A and B are shown apart, each in its own frame.
Chain A
Amino acid sequence: MRGWLDRRVDVDGFRASYLRKIFPVHHSFFLGEIALFAFVILVVTGIFLAVNYESSSRTVQLGGQGVPAAYASVVRIDALPFGRVIRGTHHWSAHIFIAAAFLHLLRHLLTGSYKNPREINWWLGLTLLVLVVVTAFTGYALPFDAFAVVATKIGYGIASAVPWIGSWLANLLFGGNYPTPYSVPRLYAAHIFIMPVLIALVLAVHLLLIIKQHHTQPAYARRVAPGRMLGVPMVPGQALMMTTLLFIYLAVVVVTSGVVDPHPVQAFGPPTASTPTVRPDWYFLWVYGILEIIPSSWHFQALGAGFGPELWGGIVVPGLLLLAAVLLPLADRSTRPIRYVELPTRHPLRTGAVWGLVSFFLVASAAGYHDTLGVPPWVFGVLLVGVPALVTVGVRAVLGRATRH
């Protein structure tokens, strides 16, 4: 059997090129794999949800009440055998996907592995993060409950804040002035087809490049076996660890889904004329906070287009952060390819800036609670600039002193 297959498709060649790929062993190297598991689980559970979901906002009867068909179908999914748990696994896997992808990004940022020769994979990773967040957003709309409609409407508003082409763009993406009968089918097509296919394609190149370029080696590899690749082969060593991790992942997510309700559609109820008090999921909270503290006066007209607070908070700030991330590898002029991870403690400024970035996200998220905290919005505006600057300078100073000793 083995020989039969090998004569036809050269199994040994495949084995040598891919299955013997060396994986360095370090706990921080598993974050990307967790994101990968989340993607696989999202696709599998997503297929179950897709075949039971009705992508329409037409009115149907549910318990004597006229509700959107999409809403009714999610209520029906919850009542299917294992329906709620499968929807929960999908929901929480989306959260884990974004969290793992972001931590994966921070790990590469902190250890300098975005540098030569791995710039392309850094850019592909950034692309994946954007694609994943957009996919999560398109998923928001699908249950079409009161929360989903408002959350999606905010996305529509942000898209239409793009100067000049905003209205056209928003109507293109959301199927007219959201919500319209075109909106749910369009967001559904994006969520289950366009975006996952794009993610799968970029992910495939991301993984192939890692096999081609190899991981950066952990710092201990330099001490243990300088100049040599240290790690375990894809098969069997890494595969065994990955399988173990996958089962741990599944156990955690399935138990969580059984215990914590995933987006309780019936608690939010079908859409009404009034706006429920909504706060976005944690990964959008920083954008939400920035949107809240930008005052109405930051608004002007120029060249026939309006530039308003929703543009700054919803597009310009996230766009600038993304642009900075894209340009980051180009700031490194070193022509020597990176082979070992750079220890964060040895790079005080970069490490300081990463923690500054993290503190920026935390302060911006807290700004969304400025009224609950009884703090005027402008105070958060000051904190949003001051805290990241202080954290950057502080961490740099502490690490710099430690390194000199």
Chain B
Amino acid sequence: MSEHRDDDGGVSRRDILAAGMGAGLAVGGISLLVAVGGLVPEIVVTPANTPPQKGDLLVFAGGHNQGQVIGPDDVPADGPQVLAWPMDPTNKVIRNQNHLNIILLVRAAAQGWFSSAHLQFTADRIAAYSATCTHLCCTVSDWVGKPFGIDPHGYLFCPCHKSHYDPWDGATVLAGPAPRPLPTLPLALAGDHLTVAGGFMTPPGCSTT
């Protein structure tokens, strides 16, 4: 009836069972972490989700001429912005399988609208930025023309939480909660098409980490 005890200072059966269960739980816990970590999908790089590359053409992301190559005259002066996807010029793959690739194009009515620091990234009075709002990743698809009737130039506007960006000065934040400017995409002119002159100058997206 009495409980078995090993009084010689040895290891009891209960100790061994407890250690075994502890080891089992530890292995199980680590395995679970690995399994959960595996739920983050691995991104397989394809031409359609590669970020914009130097030499890429730009195509309309929406509207009646969706998918057509954009030339300088397709972008209206003094807004609103045109939303675009980059397109690989050799195999004509539109890189729209990565939503961080969405680009906006704005055109100034005069060269002098741009700040001198930003002028070098523009082509034919057109500037390009990531269209992904740095606040919470909505597409910056709205335009405010002549806000408050004071400034003659329009502004970029995100309809989600009302962040305003200044397209004529590197898309710096004018108002609203966005923490950073929209990343600049350097542009160039190739014949009668706009092309990408280099990748986004800062990482696009809304993640602060």
Question: Chain A: residues with CB nearer than 8 A to chain B?
Answer: 150, 153-154, 156-158, 160-168, 170-172, 175-180, 182, 186, 272-278, 288, 291-296, 299, 305-311, 313-314, 371
Q: Are A275 and B160 in contact (CB under 8 A)?
A: yes
A177 and B97 CA atoms in complex are apart in Å by: 10
Interface size on B, residues (CB 8 A): 40
B39, B159, B160 pick with most chain A CB within 10 angstroms = B160
**Nearest Cβ distance between residue A312 and chain B, in whole angstroms?**
9
Q: Knowing A158-B136, A275-B158, A305-B208 touch, does A168 contact B176 (C-beta < 8 A)?
A: no
Q: Are A309 and B135 in contact (CB under 8 A)?
A: yes
Per the 8 Å Cβ criterion, residues 34-77 of B in contact with A are 36-37, 39-41, 43, 61-62
Which residue in chain B gives the minimum CB-CB distance to A176?
Answer: B41
B138, B159, B209 pick with most chain A CB within 10 angstroms = B209
B43, B61, B100, B206 pick with most chain A CB within 10 angstroms = B206
Residues in B whose Cβ lies below 8 Å from that of A276:
159
Residues in A whose Cβ lies below 8 Å from that of B85:
273
Q: Are B179 and A180 in contact (CB under 8 A)?
A: no
A288 and B176 CA atoms in complex are apart in Å by: 13
Cβ-based interface call for B169 (8 A) = no
4 further A-B pairs in the complex, CB-CB below 8 A; given A178-B137, A273-B85? A172-B40, A177-B98, A177-B100, A293-B177
Interface code B166-196, partner A: CB below 8 Å = 1, 0 otherwise? Answer: 0000000101111110000000000000000
Residues in A whose Cβ lies below 8 Å from that of B159:
275-278
A-B contact pairs, 5 of them (CB 8 A): A172-B39, A178-B99, A275-B158, A292-B177, A295-B177
Closest 10 CB pairs of A and B: A306-B208, A157-B136, A274-B141, A273-B61, A309-B177, A299-B179, A273-B62, A308-B179, A160-B207, A157-B137
A154 and B139 CA atoms in complex are apart in Å by: 11
**Nearest Cβ distance between residue B90 and chain A, in whole angstroms?**
24
Q: Knowing A157-B136, A171-B41, A275-B142 touch, does A305 contact B209 (C-beta < 8 A)?
A: yes
Q: Are A154 and B177 in contact (CB under 8 A)?
A: no
**Nearest Cβ distance between residue B143 and chain A, in whole angstroms?**
11
Q: Knowing A164-B209, A272-B62, A273-B62 touch, does A180 contact B176 (C-beta < 8 A)?
A: no
Which residue in chain A gives the minimum CB-CB distance to B135?
Answer: A310
Q: Are B206 and A306 in contact (CB under 8 A)?
A: no
Residues in B whose Cβ lies below 8 Å from that of A172:
36-37, 39-40
Q: Are B179 and A150 in contact (CB under 8 A)?
A: no
Per the 8 Å Cβ criterion, residues 86-141 of B in contact with A are 98-100, 102, 135-141
Which residue in chain A gives the minimum CB-CB distance to B163?
Answer: A296
**Nearest Cβ distance between residue A176 and chain B, in whole angstroms?**
4
Which residue in chain A gives the minimum CB-CB distance to B103?
Answer: A273
A315 and B9 CA atoms in complex are apart in Å by: 53
The one of B39, B40, B99, B177 in contact with A296, judged by C-beta atoms closer than 8 angstroms, is: B177
A153 and B207 CA atoms in complex are apart in Å by: 12
